Amino acid sequence: MTSVCIALDAMGGDHGPKVVVPAALNALASYPNLQLILVGNREQLEQQIRLSAGNGQSRLIIHEATQVVEMGDPPAVALRQKRDSSMRVAINLVKDGVAEACVSAGNTGALMAIARFVLKMLPGVDRPAIVYSLPSMTGHVHVLDLGANVNCEPQDLFQFAVMGSVLASAVDNNPRPTVGLLNVGSEAIKGSLQVKQAAELLEKNNCGIHYIGYVEGDDIYKGTADVVVCDGFVGNVALKASEGLAKMVLKMAREEFFKSWYGRFAALIASPILRSLSKRLDPSRYNGASLLGLRGIVIKSHGNAEQKAFGMAIRVAMLEVEKNVPEKIQKQLATQLGHLQAV
């Protein structure tokens, strides 16, 4: 079994070492081929390791970093003034070939700016995209972009479609994932000029991408497509609205169940179903957003992720390393762009 080495920004996010260290030890206990590098303040990390129970410490390395990118730091400050931050050092380890991927729960804007500056973009990719896996009626769906690019050109959306298709094919073992372009309707006359022109690019392509046309917002959770493509403004709004709706529904359900003794009794009877539903919708199962288009693998964890959720982000990084996602994206983009130029 080939070993996988991943660098962890141990100081990033809302919880820092208190979450990252125990999550790392749990991951090492679960995956014997995994090696982890904790990047951050050595004293704090060593103290947390002593407090955390877990096996596999022989495969855990501490790499010192003297600065921390705070959640409120502007990307420019993180990039120019914090060159020895745990985030920057972790990404440098990927660039230098010491680690094969980086996982961080830190400031998203800073992570994107540093990763793009240090690792550079793959040939044929103009902009990186944040892709996240969301639950759907058929399992899950990969949605991109979720906030890296507010304004996108048609070519950007085309590149996102290629990258999302490659990712879904690799990590889901799906040889022909379906790709839909998020729009305000399924009719050809609807949508912005950028979306219409992106659709034309995707329709011209007939090798590699299984493009199924426009999809609407509700299609995300219906599982109509394996990959849903949109610009970062639309994607981020859709994601945050979905998270807010899920919280509201759960809150209202609790209120209804505990309004009366009858409701409490009903809740007791329904508890196995409710537990199963809660497990299926557990956000920690889907933690770990990929920054696609870079010359390396960078995974963004939720800033407030707990131990289980951060562990899932580590698992996402492992999977992308094992499937060699950046190289597959590069090869597929070269094929698609060459085909478009020939059409």
Tens digit of each residue's pLDDT (9 = 90 or more) over 45-74:
999 998 876 666 789 999 999 999 999 999
Residue 289, beta-bridge partner list: 300
Is 257 a member of any domain? yes
Q: What does the pLDDT look like over 75-87, one tens digit per residue?
A: 999 999 999 999 9
Three-class SS of residue 180?
A: strand
CATH number at residue 6: 3.40.718.10
Residue 1 has pLDDT above 80, yes or no: no
Confidence of residue 343 (pLDDT cuts 50, 70, 90): very low
Calculate the CA 251 to chain-centre distance. Answer: 26
Query: Which tokens belong to 156?
Result: 């950007």
- The pLDDT, as a whole number, for residue 165 is 92
Q: What percent of the chain lies above the pLDDT cut of 70?
A: 92
**Are 176 and 314 part of one and the same domain?**
no
Q: Which residues of 127-165 are buried (b: 16+ CB within 10 A; e: fewer)?
A: bbbbbbbbbbeeebbbbbbbbbbeebebbbbbbbbbbbb
Query: How far is the C-alpha of 217 from the C-alpha of 203, rounded, in Å?
Result: 21
Q: Which of 230, 253, 283 is the last residue of a domain?
A: 283
Query: Which tokens belong to 97?
Result: 């070939």
Is 139 a member of any domain? yes
**Are 154 and 279 part of one and the same domain?**
yes
Measured CA distances, 256 to 167, 266, 274 (Å): 41, 10, 14
What is the average pLDDT across 81-97? Answer: 96
**Are 279 and 145 part of one and the same domain?**
yes
**Are 64 and 108 part of one and the same domain?**
yes
What is the average pLDDT across 81-105? Answer: 96
**Are 143 and 185 part of one and the same domain?**
yes
Q: What percent of the chain lies above the pLDDT cut of 90?
A: 59
**Are 262 and 308 part of one and the same domain?**
no
Residue 342 has pLDDT above 50, yes or no: no
Q: What does the pLDDT look like over 117-158, one tens digit per residue?
A: 999 999 888 889 999 888 888 888 999 988 888 889 999 999
Confidence of residue 339 (pLDDT cuts 50, 70, 90): low
Query: How far is the C-alpha of 98 from the C-alpha of 202, rounded, in Å?
Result: 37
Is 342 a member of any domain? no
Query: How far is the C-alpha of 194 from the C-alpha of 180, rounded, in Å?
Result: 15
Is 333 a member of any domain? no
Q: What does the pLDDT look like over 43-53, one tens digit per residue?
A: 999 999 988 76
Query: How far is the C-alpha of 189 from the C-alpha of 185, rounded, in Å?
Result: 9
Is 334 a member of any domain? no
Residue 280 has pLDDT above 70, yes or no: no
- The pLDDT, as a whole number, for residue 64 is 96
**Are 136 and 112 part of one and the same domain?**
no
Q: Confirm if 73 and 107 have CB atoms less than 8 A apart.
A: yes
**Are 244 and 229 part of one and the same domain?**
yes
Domain span at 90: 1-125+293-326
Q: Confirm if 227 and 165 have CB atoms less than 8 A apart.
A: yes
What is the average pLDDT across 32-49? Answer: 94
Is 336 a member of any domain? no
**Are 241 and 183 part of one and the same domain?**
yes
**Are 206 and 188 part of one and the same domain?**
yes
Confidence of residue 294 (pLDDT cuts 50, 70, 90): very high
Count of structural domains, the chain: 2
**Are 314 and 276 part of one and the same domain?**
no
- The pLDDT, as a whole number, for residue 148 is 86
Q: What does the pLDDT look like over 237-278, one tens digit per residue?
A: 988 888 788 778 878 877 877 888 877 777 777 777 767 766
Is 142 a member of any domain? yes
Average per-residue pLDDT for the chain: 88
**Are 213 and 297 part of one and the same domain?**
no
Residue 161 has pLDDT above 90, yes or no: yes
Is 332 a member of any domain? no
